[in-house]
Structure 1
Amino acid sequence: MDALRVQSVNLEHAQNQRQHNTEGLNSASLVVRRGQPFKLTVAFNRRYIPNRDGLILRVELDRLYNDIPITFSRDPSQWSAYFQQGSLDSTKASLCVCSPANAPVGVYQLQMMSPSGPYNFRVGQFTLLCNPWCSADSVYIADESQREEYVKNDFGLLYQGTAKNVIFRPWSFDQYENGILDICMMLLQVSPEHKRNWRTDNSNRSDPIYISRVVSAMINSNDDCGVLQGNWSEDYSGGVNPSDWNGSGEILRQWAQSRCSPVKYGQCWVFAGVMCTVMRVLGIPTRVVTNFDSAHDTNGNLVVEEFYTETGEKLPRGQDSIWNFHVWVECWMKRADLRAGFDGWQVLDPTPQERSEGVYRCGPAPVKAIREKRMDMPFDIPFIYAEVNADVYVCIVQQGKVLSCSIDTDKVGSLICTKSLGSNRPQDITSTYKYTTAIQPVTSNSTMAAPTLANTSRSPDGLSVKLRFLKAPVIGGNISFSVTVTNLESTWKTVRQHVNAQAKSYNRSPSDTFWEAHNTIQLAPHESKVLEHQISYRQYAMLGNRQLVNLAVVVMDVASQKRVLASEEFNLTSPTISIQIEDEGSVVAQKVQVAMVTFTNPFSEPVSGVLTMAGAGLLEDKVFFNIALQVGESMQTAVKFTPKMAGVKMLHANLRLNNNPAVIRGFRTITVRAA
């Protein structure tokens, strides 16, 4: 009888990837998840005879291999290969291959060999990912809606602005775009850990804790050939303004095509968006999180100091800082390295701020450990705890002397949120980080009423002052607000009021004053007076792309020289682009659809610029339109798109104006049905 020979092997890509929830992940190799069998169809030169013939399947990862005897049963604790029952009746057989649920993530080679001779047959390769659908995998997440959102969803919304006026920023994770999966696997291969000891690195890739620390370091380029170079200087020559990125795919492709030269430039939301892509591709449930009023406590004393002049100008003093928002990611995993109770969401921050074990990375830190102030646990919990819990000392100073000081224990970490499951609304997750009642966010892209932004301060010496916005501040319109000063005592008071407005970037102290007002008023016992103020568009048009303002009011009792301060940092909301879909209920994969894109110039001057349309899984490439609009003029254009696959997708628009600093965006989520 002829010796048994393998003539061909079909890797059954479509069936396996459908069963492994890897459909749409583009790679030259089969893509499967660990802890779950995948099927091969093997064609022999004759029928396989169980008691006579024998075969070994070699599974190789970067020169590390397992030789697996092909049997008729599965062993879930280790690599196994077995024929399906009843599949040996002809020269073709169905062979199942299964990895353990803790197998290392990577690109594997498959060979079939005879145990008695040198014969071998190269089957091909497959990419093995983590498996959040497998209960034995340490990234298992039980809720299917969470797996849909945190693993399979290829678009998201990142939240910026301020806690009282949250702004949506659409982001395309692009994990189903051509080449992205292979680039994510390459990222692991070029890491310092792999170069230092490839054997240990490959072995450690069984653990999502290890994987997440490698990826956190590799997203920034500070210590290695990582993906992104950070830049907060406002000079982006030689690269891309971080605000102009709207997805991860372009960044990852540019990094790979440049042979791992860092892409210029990134800031926190860009680092987080790209990391979310890589982790979702690797099969680790991940979501992007925004922490509003995020403290950077450099000396670790859980105190951040802010200084104002006696006329309300905020001073750039001190090494500590509070960012209006900071963006990181959370990944879902078990923490076998910790005692019970700390599985679940873990904070990871790829923005290069502080070193962790000598490398610019942060986490994974259990969210629950942050809430419980477990400073003894790894990784980087003290730094993250301060980001959401530091106290703020607000001082009024004059010629180096502190005139008054107050403590704000609620400002830092005032709102922590992420995209809701299956919705574009922000989900408030503040209570998972700290024992507090967070404020209710108001989102500028919603249909809710305009936010009422107000701040009240009270002095023990008989005065209170309240800042209140009369309407939501929108770029192109006037900033209208009132200052209410109240005499809390039974004597007449002469009060001086100083109001000060400064432009601000989200991550640093304000710049010089661009608007101020000063008044002297008389207050009868227990009297309140309301002073209304207005800052015109022409007075703040010079802000550039800094759409944040620090507004402060200091009132002083002339007799006692006692002062009280109220301040508010607020964002100017940009106008939006409208996107409407023709026959929205019948959008079908592989069928041409039409979106109508509309924008009206709200500014008091003509505008011109470039409108960019993008959408992962909808548009093959970006689409560009030149526009020029007079005051009050509208534009409408039709954009054709062809969905590649079923699911919920996002079409988004970005308008960059030539003569106006505002960046104008719009988005539409689209449910695509199978053809």
Structure 2
Amino acid sequence: MATDGKLASIGEKCQVDLQCAANNKAHRTIEISEKRLLLRRGQSFDINMFFKDGFNPQKERIELAVTNGPNDTKTVIGFTEELNERRWSAVIKSVTKNELSLTITSSPRAIIGRYSFSLQHDYENISYFLGNFVLLFNPWCAADEVYLNSDVQRKEYVLNETGTIYYGGSDYICERDWNFGQFEEDILDICLNLLDNAPKYLKNAKRANRRRCSSVYISRTVSAMVNSAHDQGVIQGRWSSPYTGGEYPGKWSGSIAILRQWQKSNFKPVRYGQCWVFAAVTCTVLRALGIATRVVTNFDSAHDTDANLTIDNYYNVEGDNIGGSSDSIWNFHVWNESWMARDDLVPGFNGWQVVDATPQEESDGTYCCGPASVRAIKEGDLEYNYDAPFVFAEVNAQCANWLVFADGTKMKMDVDVLNVGHFVSTKKCGKDEREDITHLYKYPDGSTEEAEIFKKAKIVIAEPAPEKTLKVSLKVNQPICLGQTVSVSVVVSNKSSEEKVCTVNFWAKKKMYHGNTDKETIKKFKKEITIPAVEDKIIPLELSYKDYGTFPDMYYRMRLITYVTDKLPENNVATMKDIGLLNPPLTIKMMNFNAYVGEKAHVEISFTNPFALPLKKCSMSIEGNGLVDDQTRVKFDDVKPNALAEVRCDFTPKKPGQRKLLVDIDCDLMQNVKGSLKIDVQKKK
């Protein structure tokens, strides 16, 4: 075999050196391996051959052949005077009596995947196997449809093995680090196996393989295969407990463990994931294959099942969603953007494309979404492939919230957020900061441009709630740490010139991130108040840990709802507000002065118990590409009420360079407490 970069026999005639380390370094795949030939299409590479009995290129009349695909489709490459950058070509770089050096380039539109190549005579049926290689998309090649003309962006969206995912709510945005790990050596093979397990490939492998030259086809395939709705996909989704037989989605901190488990189980779906897990694994796969990809979060994200671009939510007076519509507003939703040309569309829609692997609605009979041009979404050009209307609704659907009384009458509420699609967020290039990219998806709320786009998309702008002499709002000081008391102010304003006597009703409930609330009410409050003319009345309330206790998921969300009744029903008003509590921050520090490859490193993780109760069943897991082979879990002692906890652990770095250690802490009263530390690992001198 000629796959390890060393001399390998191809018979008695000659030996070959694939120069794996040098070629992989030039093709920016050296982080994956120094022993396998891993190339990017449209870029040249060199190989050397050594002949025992001498070599005469004019007499030998040789040519190269590369084969790919289930039927070993062959492309024959004759030697030319100079390389042709638009197709497969090869030149003789140098030749002596015993050595032949070749420079070869692949087509910038070549099929991506596994290849083998051989040297053959052009006049007789004799060939010599040279070796195997993998060919990937090439964002550095101007002729490749995934070309991205920015070193900073290529470094972030192709080469960076860690990233940040934003979650929570538009009232307070949280973040968590993720280990994409696309350059772990086995991950690339798993990603190629993912393509081989796609239903279209299993049905007609030859036809599906021919389409692997297209980034549109590949991204659409990956979108379908990362979820398991219709196939042997990677992740099984689950949006509420119980999570029996699998991991709670919040436990995952990286893609490597998920992809390895899927491969090891003979491609059985890994349990369980939610939107950010689907998006993170999709990012790993597409970056591994060479497509620049980033993770994007949309806050107050609409799920418009009937495609009418209107979300009507109906609540009873205790804040329960009582149905009437299958549409919903999620606290947030996470998808991907991938950079590519859209030669399948009219000009103007190249660039970032939405790709969403979360199984929400079928697209051409498959649970996948995209690629949908971000520019087409902003401009309301929804007729272009793929799934632009669905994504457009996620950021633009009109939302109306209704309060339904026991007698069936309903009232439109005043709410803090009238529309969907806020703080569309991604990690900023080269920095651990959030970048707001809402302007790429939509024009400013209330602008003339927005009105024109709504008109084009045939959105009927919802009528605002009518002005009334009473007004009510909810004020909460944030951020609030889990375990602490939440202070809420119900502010009732009398806009009339007369004194008013009215009744204030208040409820608080736990809320899941997909929009539903618990049936159980955390707290109820009812009081009759008198408000002088043109004055405000502030009613202070508190929600203690004893009131709210543990939560059904990792977001610690609550829905507050209040309505105020007047003697005249037409003056009744209501509003609601969603809030979230936070885990305590982690402090992570290196105990060594420096970190070196192959030498044990020591870290200390500390945090303060926010509860007036002890923390029990405490454990910590760490992972990090190039730092820890697999996720490592450590148990530690109970933590006293409001006390400082300090936990130490060690690991042995495997790779040099800028690395990131990811930490996750779980206890009986709080879960998925996340933190990270950048570590500069040096080679030992």
TM-score (norm 2): 0.91
Output the CA distance in 2 between the equivalents of 1:365 and 1:305: 26
Residues 243 and 558 (structure 1), Cα distance of their counterparts in 2 relative to 1, 3 Å cut: same
Cα offset, 1:372, TM superposition: 0.8
Task: Name the CA shift for 1:330/1:6 in 2 (closer, same or farther; >3 Å).
Answer: farther
Tell me what 2:212 maps to: 205
Q: How far off is 1:458 after superposition?
A: 8.1
Unaligned runs of 5+ in 1: 439-456
Distance change (3 Å), C-alpha of 1:652 and 1:437 = farther
- 1:556 corresponding residue in structure 2: 565
Q: 1:110 aligns with which of 99, 112, 117?
A: 117
1:223 Cα deviation from its structure 2 partner: 1.3
SS of the residue corresponding to residue 622 of structure 2 reads strand
1:569 equivalent in structure 2: 578
Which residue number in structure 2 is paired with residue 579 of structure 1? 588
1:601 aligns with 2:612: no
* Separation (CA, whole Å) in 2 of partners of 1:664 and 1:290: 20
Distance 1:458 1:480, change over 3 A: farther
2:140–2:148 contact (8 Å) kept in structure 1: yes
User: In 1, Cα distance between the equivalents of 2:127 and 2:324?
Assistant: 70
What one-letter code is carried by the residue in structure 2 that aligns with 1:236? Y
Tell me what 1:454 maps to.
Answer: none
29, 32, 41: which one pairs with 2:48?
A: 41
Match of 1:444 in 2: none
Which residue of the partner structure matches residue 295 of structure 1? 302
Deviations 1:486-530 (A, max 9, x none): 111101111211111111110132122221211211111101111
Alpha carbons 2:279, 2:295 under 8 Å: kept: yes
Deviation at 1:216, TM superposition (A): 0.7
Is 2:547 the partner of 1:539?
Answer: yes
More displaced 10-residue stretch of structure 1: 368-377 or 301-310: 301-310
1:497 paired residue among 504, 507, 518: 504
Matched, 1:611 2:620: yes
Q: How does 1:645-656 map to 2 (within 5 A)?
A: 645-656=655-666
Deviations 1:558-613 (A, max 9, x none): 344522122111211111221112467x5454554332211222211111221111
Distance of aligned partners of 1:312 and 1:225 in 2 relative to their CA distance in 1, 3 Å threshold: closer
Distance 1:669 1:315 in 2: 47
Alignment counterpart, residue 337 of structure 2, candidates 327, 330, 345: 330
SS of structure 2 residue aligned to 1:436: coil
On the 8 A contact 1:26/1:180 being kept in 2, the answer is no
* Cα distance between partner residues in 1 of 2:413 and 2:563: 13
Distance 1:123 1:50, change over 3 A: closer
> Which shifted more, 214-223 or 273-282?
214-223
CA shift, 1:30, in A, is: 1.1
Q: Compute the displacement of 1:93 (Å).
A: 2.4
Residue 418 (structure 1) aligns with: 426
Contact in 2 for aligned 1:37/1:98 (Cα 8 Å): yes
- C-alpha change, 1:332 and 1:249, in structure 2 (3 Å) is same
Residue in 2 that maps onto 1:7: 14
Partner of 1:643: 653
TM-score by length of 1: 0.92
Task: Give distance in 2, aligned partners of 1:259 and 1:79.
Answer: 35
1:602-654 Cα shifts (integer Å, max 9, x gaps): 21111122111111111123222212111133332333334333443221111
Contact 1:272 1:351 (8 Å CA) reproduced: yes
Partner amino acid, structure 1, of 2:674? R
- When residues 559 and 77 of structure 1 are mapped into structure 2, their CA distance, relative to the original with a 3 A threshold, is closer
Task: State the secondary structure of the residue aligned to 1:318.
Answer: coil
Alignment-derived partner of residue 665 in structure 1: 674
Distance (whole Å) between structure 2 residues aligned to residue 400 and residue 56 of structure 1 = 85
Q: Where does 1:73-92 land on structure 2 (aligned, <5 Å)?
A: 73-84=82-93, 87-92=94-99
1:492 and 1:525 in contact (8 A); partners too: yes
The alpha-carbon deviation at position 127 of structure 1 amounts to: 0.3
- 1:99 aligned onto 2:106: yes
Q: Give the C-alpha shift of residue 202 in structure 1.
A: 1.6
Which one-letter code corresponds to 1:504 in the other structure? K
Residue 78 of structure 2 aligns to a residue whose secondary structure is strand
TM superposition shift of 1:47: 4.2
* 8 A contact 1:391–1:407 mirrored in 2: no
Deviation at 1:40, TM superposition (A): 0.7
The Cα of 1:145 is off from its aligned counterpart by: 0.9
User: In the aligned structure 2, how far is the partner of 1:298 from the partner of 1:27?
Assistant: 49
The two structures, once aligned, show a CA RMSD in angstroms of: 2.1
1:518 matched residue in structure 2: 526
Assess, with a 3 A threshold, how the Cα gap between structure 1 residues 494 and 434 changes in structure 2: closer, same or farther. Answer: same
Aligned to 1:632: 642
Sequence identity (%): 36
CA distance in 2, matches of 1:563, 1:651: 53
The letter for the 2-side match of 1:124 is G
Q: Does structure 1 residue 64 correspond to structure 2 residue 73?
A: yes
What amino acid is the match of 2:640?
A: Q
Q: Give the stretch that moved more between structures: 121-130 or 511-520.
A: 511-520
1:26–1:179 CA contact under 8 A, matched in 2: no
Residue 461 of structure 1: how far off its partner (Å): 2.1
Residue 430 of structure 1 pairs with residue 421 of structure 2: no
1:397 corresponds to which residue?
404
Alpha-carbon displacement from aligned partner over 1:182-237 (angstroms, at most 9, x marks no partner): 11011111211212222221211111001111111111111111111111231111
Counterpart-to-counterpart distance in 1, 2:528 and 2:33: 68
CA contact 1:347–1:365 (8 Å) conserved in 2:
yes
**Bigger mean CA offset, 111-120 vs 534-543:** 111-120
Q: Secondary structure at the match of 2:369?
A: coil
For the residue of structure 1 that corresponds to 2:658, the secondary structure is strand
Query: Distance between the aligned counterparts of 2:532 and 2:672, measured in 1?
Result: 47
Q: Contact 1:587–1:673 (CA<8 Å) still a contact in 2?
A: yes
Bigger shift: 217-226 or 45-54? 45-54
**2: CA distance, partners of 1:500 / 1:314:** 13
- Give the residue type in structure 1 aligned to 2:152: S
Quote the residue 2:452 is aligned against.
Answer: none
Seen in structure 2, the aligned counterparts of structure 1 residues 424 and 558 have a Cα distance that, compared at 3 Å, is farther
Whether the aligned pair in 1 keeps the contact of 2:39 and 2:133 (CA below 8 Å) is: yes
In the alignment, what sits opposite 1:453?
none
Q: Aligned residue for 2:453?
A: none
- 2:244 maps to a residue whose letter is S
Contact kept? 1:104, 1:202, Cα under 8 Å: yes
How far apart, CA to CA, are the structure 2 residues paired with 1:20 and 1:663?
38
Q: Which shows bigger deviation, 126-135 or 611-620? A: 611-620
Alpha-carbon distance between aligned partners in 2 of 1:497 and 1:673, rounded to the nearest angstrom: 63
Aligned residue for 2:549, secondary structure, equals helix
SS at match of 1:331: strand
Distance 1:233 1:472 in 2: 25
1:32 aligned to 2:39?
yes
Q: Distance in 1 between matches of 2:224 and 2:434?
A: 27
Is 2:54 the partner of 1:54?
A: no
Aligned to 2:280: 273
Aligned: 1:357 with 2:367? no
Structure 1 range deviating more: 639-648 or 536-545 = 639-648
Asked if the contact 2:469–2:571 (Cα under 8 Å) also holds between the matched residues in 1, the reply is no
Q: Residues 138-537 of structure 1: matches in 2 within 5 Å?
A: 138-310=145-317, 312-399=319-406, 401-406=408-413, 410-436=418-444, 460-512=467-519, 513-537=521-545
